C-alpha cells in the first residue's frame, strides 16, 4: 500500500513531491509532516497544495484530483442574494479584523464533521496577514461581526480558506462584494479547494488537478494588487 510522502520538520520549504504522487484514497493526500512556516505555506499554494488536518493529526498536505475554483466573471448571484445585497443590511469590509474572522471560522468548523482550523493554523495565517499576504473579508450588522471569509493572495489568484456566517446570507453577501472587487483588480481565479454545493451555487466549478496547476504557473507569476486592500467606490449594478 502506497503511503504519502513524509516531510522532515527541518526540510526546505519546497520539499514537496510531484502532484502526481497524491493518493487516490483518500483523494489528494500528498504529504505528511513539515511545518507551517510562511515560506512553506506560500510554496504549497503556489504548487497547488494546501494544509488540512485535525488537532490530533500531523500536518496533512492535499492536492485533490478535482479542484473547485471560481472564475470571478462567472460568479452567480441568485435572486434571493441580490435581494439581500439591495437591502444593504450588511456592511462589508476588507482586512478590518483578520484575527477575529479566522477565530470565528475555526469555531464555526468545530461544530461540523471533519477537519477544522487548528490553533497552529490560526497563528500561521495570522503571520501571513501581518506580512500582507493573507486577507479577510468581514460582514457586519449593527456593528457586530456576523460573517466573513479569509485566504491568501498570490499573483492574480485568491486562495480561499474558510468562511463563516452567523446570519442568513452574511457570508454570501461578503463573498459577492469581494469577488466583484477582485474582478476590478484583475484577479482571474479564486481557489475554493474542494467541491461543495454551497460553492457550486455561487458559480464554482471543478477542474482537473493538472489544469489547475497550469493556471497557477501563469497567474501566480502575474502582478496582483499590492496597495491596501479596501473596497473602492465603484457602483455595483445588480
Which residues have C-beta within 8 Å of that of residue 29, sequence separation ≥ 6? 4, 22, 23, 60, 61, 62
Predicted confidence (pLDDT) at residue 113 exceeds the cutoff of 60:
no
List pLDDT tens digits, range 157-172.
Answer: 999 999 999 999 999 9
Q: Are 119 and 176 in contact (CB under 8 A)?
A: no
The CATH 3.30.70.3550 portion of the chain extends over 5-64
Helix, strand counts (H, E) of the chain: 7, 11
Give the integer Cα–Cα distance in Å for 212 and 162: 19
The CATH 3.40.630.70 portion of the chain extends over 68-219
pTM of the prediction? 0.95
- How much of the chain, in percent, has pLDDT values that exceed 90? 88
List pLDDT tens digits, range 201-215.
Answer: 999 999 999 999 999
Instruction: Kindly list the strands in the beta sheet with 91-94, ordered across the sheet, starting from the edge strand earlier in the chain.
Output: 91-94, 134-141, 144-154, 157-165, 189-193, 66-70, 205-208
Predicted confidence (pLDDT) at residue 233 exceeds the cutoff of 90:
no
| Architecture of the domain made up of 68-219 | 3-Layer(aba) Sandwich (3.40)
Which residues have C-beta within 8 Å of that of residue 6, sequence separation ≥ 6? 31, 32, 33
Q: Is the peptide bond before 26 cis (omega within 30 degrees of 0)?
A: yes
**Which top CATH class is 5-64?**
alpha beta
Phi-psi region of 192 (alpha: psi -120 to 50; beta: other; left: phi over 0): alpha
Q: Are strands 5-7 and 29-33 parallel, antiparallel or unpaired?
A: parallel
Confidence of residue 55 (pLDDT cuts 50, 70, 90): confident
Question: If DSSP states are collapsed to H, E and C, what string results for 146-183?
Answer: EEEEEEEEECCEEEEEEEEECCCCHHHHHHHHHHHHHH
Predicted confidence (pLDDT) at residue 81 exceeds the cutoff of 90:
yes
Q: 40-54 in b/e burial notation, b at 16+ Cβ within 10 A?
A: bbbbbbbbbbbbbbe
Confidence of residue 116 (pLDDT cuts 50, 70, 90): confident
Amino acid at each position: 500500500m502506497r503511503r504519502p510522502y513524509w516531510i522532515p520538520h527541518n526540510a526546505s520549504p519546497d520539499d514537496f513531491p510531484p502532484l502526481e504522487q497524491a493518493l487516490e484514497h483518500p483523494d489528494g493526500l500528498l504529504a505528511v509532516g513539515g511545518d507551517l512556516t510562511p515560506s512553506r505555506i506560500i510554496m504549497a499554494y503556489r504548487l497547488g497544495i494546501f494544509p488540512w488536518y485535525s488537532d490530533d493529526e500531523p500536518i496533512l498536505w492535499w492536492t485533490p484530483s478535482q479542484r473547485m475554483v471560481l472564475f470571478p466573471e462567472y460568479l452567480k448571484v441568485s435572486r434571493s442574494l441580490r435581494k439581500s445585497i439591495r437591502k444593504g443590511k450588511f456592511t462589508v469590509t476588507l482586512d478590518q479584523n483578520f484575527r477575529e474572522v479566522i477565530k470565528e471560522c475555526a469555531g464555526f468548523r468545530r461544530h461540523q464533521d471533519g477537519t477544522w482550523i487548528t490553533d497552529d493554523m490560526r497563528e500561521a495565517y495570522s503571520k501571513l496577514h501581518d506580512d500582507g499576504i493573507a486577507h479577510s473579508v468581514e460582514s457586519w450588522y449593527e456593528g457586530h461581526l456576523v460573517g466573513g471569509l479569509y485566504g491568501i493572495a498570490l499573483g492574480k489568484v485568491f486562495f480561499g480558506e474558510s468562511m463563516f456566517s452567523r446570519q442568513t446570507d452574511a457570508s454570501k453577501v461578503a463573498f459577492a462584494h469581494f469577488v466583484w472587487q477582485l474582478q476590478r483588480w484583475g484577479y482571474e481565479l479564486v481557489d475554493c479547494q474542494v467541491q461543495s454545493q454551497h460553492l457550486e451555487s455561487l458559480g464554482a466549478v471543478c477542474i482537473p488537478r493538472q489544469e489547475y496547476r497550469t493556471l497557477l504557473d501563469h497567474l501566480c507569476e502575474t502582478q496582483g494588487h499590492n496597495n491596501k486592500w479596501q473596497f473602492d467606490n465603484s457602483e455595483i449594478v445588480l
